[in-house]
């Protein structure tokens, strides 16, 4: 007699209703209000990750959700969408205590490893993963390290603008004592006071601010922060998010959507309070992704398990704690994650909730194995082009060479998508050109679009791709139809 509880059979997810899910039909509807209000040219799904060793399932879940939400946004709202990956290379690499005061000092990954070291770490853990996610979803991504971001005059200006209200915002940013963790590393050794106990703001003016701080080895020092100075500005989590989100809200072209792990729902309350104390801006839309929980209801913590403080909870697999131990290649891991998060996103009730490791293990174990074995890239098409492809009349698709297309080759599969319709094709040939003119000369305008004269095609292409896009290089992708369109 099998006493499987209801809903535990197959890969089905059963979720109760909740306040948020009750208010919407699709998980992606979270971005609709702001899209309606601002009509941006582009939406950037921003996801930040600490660069400190092998990622775990929670990290992959947030990242996969960012790509899938971008894809859903393109389809649902017909607007360009990308993923913007913030690599937090200011994560602590090492911490030590001042022998006299016992204040904690920390060194960031950037200060310990340098720009090249951080780049290597990124390459090791994230590049292939993101390339694979970009292929699987047809969504492009950008990467920016925190170090690069804090160096940007716009970011530094935004930070300086908060200092006029520091007396007010320091309470929501540090509600227990009002001491914001503003870390200005020692110019000689790069170490900084973790909790900024002896870091003082001594002067703030229109163009900049002067601080003093104390280094264990090098004594007191002064740091001038201006929009253009090179002084490293390491802001603790809440403050960094406040500045980053305010900066994002000033962009008139790209609407930022913050994708954050579920535990951020608590933290953002404080960011919002600080936001409200500063003039003129409202916080960006945020999407909180499902948390991975242990059987006790706590967030799955890799370090607690590693340090032997808690046993691995039921259903925990090695790959959940370290995705590099996944039994298969990166593409197969990404396919599994895209499937899992796709199931969650299929219903707001499944997405705006948390999952235990045991439940995730059950769902993943029961997941159907890929029926076709075909891994197809997705590409969106306007209706007029989609219909030509689906009818087999358009055999050359034209793109500019975005990073995620650099490996495109004969034999690959492309699924063209328009609204709810899609059609599967196989790549017969990929030719690369330096300009659209050159491409049309070589490929023949009639193969690109049998219904449109060359001059008109040229005009249409130029409307879609500006000169800076053309400069990336032009791809002519010859395709053959594998399967008629699903209507
Ligand atoms: Zn020092």
pLDDT tens by residue, 166-181: 999 999 999 999 999 9
Average pLDDT over residues 394-417: 88
CA of 109 to the centre of ligand 1 (A): 16
Q: What is the pLDDT of residues 122-146, one digit of tens each?
A: 998 999 999 999 988 989 999 999 9
CA of 185 to the centre of ligand 1 (A): 8
CA of 181 to the centre of ligand 1 (A): 18
Q: Which domains does the chain have, with CATH numbers?
A: 19-92+108-153+237-289 (3.40.50.620), 376-481 (2.30.130.30)
CA of 152 to the centre of ligand 1 (A): 24
- What pLDDT is stored for residue 483 in this prediction? 67
CA of 215 to the centre of ligand 1 (A): 5
Which residue is listed with tokens 């904690």? Answer: 104
CA of 53 to the centre of ligand 1 (A): 26
- Judged against a pLDDT cut of 90, whether residue 276 lies above it is answered with yes
What rounded mean pLDDT belongs to the chain? Answer: 91
CA of 191 to the centre of ligand 1 (A): 6
CA of 198 to the centre of ligand 1 (A): 14
CA of 117 to the centre of ligand 1 (A): 21
pLDDT category, 3, cuts 50, 70, 90? very low
Which residue is listed with tokens 């403080």? Answer: 309
CA of 100 to the centre of ligand 1 (A): 15
CA of 186 to the centre of ligand 1 (A): 5
CA of 204 to the centre of ligand 1 (A): 24
CA of 214 to the centre of ligand 1 (A): 8
Q: Which one has a higher pLDDT value, 380 or 186?
A: 186
Q: Which one has a higher pLDDT value, 290 or 310?
A: 290
CA of 182 to the centre of ligand 1 (A): 16
CA of 220 to the centre of ligand 1 (A): 9
- Judged against a pLDDT cut of 80, whether residue 350 lies above it is answered with yes
- What pLDDT is stored for residue 51 in this prediction? 85
Which residue is listed with tokens 């699924």? Answer: 415
253-257, 462-466, 480-484 — most confident range: 253-257
Phi and psi based region of residue 6 (left: phi greater than 0; alpha: psi -120 to 50; beta: remaining): beta
Evaluate whether 418 touches 382 at the Cβ level (below 8 Å): yes
CA of 230 to the centre of ligand 1 (A): 16
CA of 99 to the centre of ligand 1 (A): 14
- Judged against a pLDDT cut of 80, whether residue 374 lies above it is answered with no
Q: What is the pLDDT of residues 202-236, one digit of tens each?
A: 999 888 999 999 999 999 999 999 999 889 999 99
pLDDT category, 1, cuts 50, 70, 90? very low
Average pLDDT over residues 384-400: 91
Tokens of 413: 């599969």
Average pLDDT over residues 328-349: 93
CA of 188 to the centre of ligand 1 (A): 5
- Judged against a pLDDT cut of 50, whether residue 456 lies above it is answered with yes
């Amino acid at each position: 007699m099998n006493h499987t509880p209801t809903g535990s059979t197959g890969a089905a997810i059963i979720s109760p209703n909740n306040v948020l899910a009750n208010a919407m039909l699709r998980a992606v509807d979270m971005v609709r209000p702001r899209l309606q209000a601002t009509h941006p040219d582009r939406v950037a799904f921003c996801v930040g990750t600490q660069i400190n060793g092998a990622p775990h399932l929670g990290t992959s879940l947030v990242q996969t959700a960012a790509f899938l939400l971008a894809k859903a946004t393109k389809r649902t709202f017909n607007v360009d969408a990308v993923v913007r990956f913030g690599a937090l290379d200011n994560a602590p690499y090492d911490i030590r205590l001042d022998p006299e005061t016992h204040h904690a000092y920390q060194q960031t990954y950037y200060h310990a490893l340098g720009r090249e070291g951080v780049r290597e770490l990124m390459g090791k853990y994230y590049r292939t993963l993101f390339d694979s996610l970009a292929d699987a979803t047809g969504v492009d991504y950008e990467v920016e390290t925190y170090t690069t971001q804090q160096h940007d005059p716009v970011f530094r200006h935004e930070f300086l603008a908060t200092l006029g209200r520091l007396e007010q915002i320091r309470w929501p940013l540090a509600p227990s004592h009002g001491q914001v963790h503003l870390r200005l590393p020692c110019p000689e050794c790069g170490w900084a006071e973790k909790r900024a106990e002896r870091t003082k703001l001594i002067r703030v003016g229109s163009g900049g601010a002067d601080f003093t701080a104390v280094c264990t080895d090098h004594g007191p020092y002064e740091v001038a922060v201006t929009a253009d100075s090179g002084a490293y500005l390491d802001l603790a989590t809440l403050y960094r998010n406040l500045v980053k989100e305010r900066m994002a809200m000033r962009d008139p072209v790209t609407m930022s959507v913050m994708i954050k792990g579920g535990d951020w729902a608590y933290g953002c309350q404080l960011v919002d309070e600080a936001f409200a104390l500063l003039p003129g801006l409202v916080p960006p839309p945020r999407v909180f992704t499902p948390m991975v929980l242990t059987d006790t209801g706590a967030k799955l913590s890799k370090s607690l398990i590693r340090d032997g403080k808690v046993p691995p909870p039921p259903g925990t697999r090695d790959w959940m704690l370290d995705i590099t131990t996944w039994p298969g290649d990166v593409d197969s891991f990404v396919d599994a994650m895209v499937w899992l998060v796709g199931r969650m996103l299929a219903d707001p009730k499944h997405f705006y909730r948390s999952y235990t490791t045991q439940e995730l293990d059950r769902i993943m174990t029961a997941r159907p194995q890929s029926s076709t074995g075909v891994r197809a890239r997705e590409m969106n098409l306007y209706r007029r082009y989609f219909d030509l492809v689906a009818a087999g009349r358009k055999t050359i698709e034209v793109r500019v060479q975005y990073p995620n297309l650099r490996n495109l080759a004969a034999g690959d599969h492309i699924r063209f998508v328009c609204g709810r319709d899609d059609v599967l094709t196989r790549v017969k040939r990929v030719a690369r050109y330096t300009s659209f003119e050159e491409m049309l000369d070589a490929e023949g305008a009639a193969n690109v679009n049998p219904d449109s004269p060359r001059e008109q095609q040229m005009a249409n292409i130029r409307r879609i791709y500006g000169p800076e896009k053309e400069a990336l290089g032009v791809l002519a992708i010859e395709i053959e139809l594998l399967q008629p369109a699903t209507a």
